[in-house]
Amino acid sequence: MTDQLVRTAPPTDPEAGAKRTAKRRRLRLTGLVILGWVAMFALWEYGSWWFGSRLLPRPLEVFQAGVEIVESGNFVTDFSASVLKTFAGFAVAAAVGAPIGYLMGRYNYWRAFFHDGVTIAGTIPAIVYAVMSLIAFGLSNLGPILAVALVSAPYIALNVAEGIRGVDKSLVTMSEAFGRTPQQIRREVLVPTIVPFVFAAIRMCFAVAWKVEALTEVFGGRNGVGFQIRTEYQLYDIAAVLAWMFLFIVFMLIIERLVLAKSEARLLAWRPQERSSAL
């Protein structure tokens, strides 16, 4: 007699199984994030002990300096100044970069006209824009705004152009066959196609725009986070310099996690990767 191997699948509820797997995955990811932070602070603490707290203040000293900054009221004034300048610069970049990107993506003639200029503009180091803006506008708020706009506009233009070029022509043909107007096709086909590219541009731009904005303020600002970092540096208060930097990072994380990630998940809910991460 031969042995018969019979395997019966265990009785499971597929939906409950998927939820359990997703929960386990979430817990594992959260654990890794916490572990990453703990490792970073441990390394920092060790570095402070090695270099001395005058050169590299301990995490607790930086935290205390941060609390003092927040309590002093400077935080709100300087932070809002920096935020406003960054957003204003970004708005100018979007107003200029998006139409250029649209033209580059839609028409080969305009692509030929803009391509090299936009590529060169994107490769110029941010510090050059910061210096040029200060020369042009002196210590006024317009310097950082212009620097942010000059740095961000090429990114926005190139991403929007790529998005437009990636439009599925068969969807445009379908729309035309059903008698949709050019406005409807722009709204329902072109715009949703470029949304993922716009998000990519925003992420890239914000990361760079903040740095340029702060850098411009360090060189020649009268307010803002960069101005405060320069002041604290002149006083050789490294804990305060790092505290300003960390407040800056916290704000960036809030923008990233609460604003960008949430709106991306909502607007791109149709993509399989967004749906699976929402489980």
Binding site for another protein (CB under 8 A): 170-171, 173-180, 184, 188-189, 192, 195, 268-272, 275
- In whole angstroms, the minimum distance from the beta carbon of 171 to another protein comes to 6
The smaller minimum CB distance to another protein, of residues 24 and 271, is found at: 271
Residue type, 211: K
From the CB of 180, what's the least distance to another protein, in Å?
A: 7
State the minimum distance, in angstroms, from the CB of residue 190 to another protein. 11
Residues with Cβ within 8 Å of 89's Cβ and at least 6 positions away in sequence, in order, are 144, 145, 146, 147, 148, 149, 152, 209, 213
In whole angstroms, give the CA distance from residue 96 to residue 205: 14
Least separation in angstroms between CB 175 and another protein: 8
Minimum CB distance to another protein, residue 12 (Å): 22
Distance CA(181)–CA(218), nearest Å, equals 51
Nearest CB to another protein, comparing residues 44 and 199: 199
- Cβ nearer to another protein, comparing 109 with 188: 188
Indicate the residue among 257 and 266 with the shorter CB distance to another protein: 266
Which residue, 170 or 183, is less far from another protein as judged by CB? 170
Residue with tokens 């942010």: 148
Residues contacting residue 141 through CB under 8 Å, at least 6 positions apart: 81, 85
C-alpha–C-alpha distance, residues 253 and 145, integer Å:
22
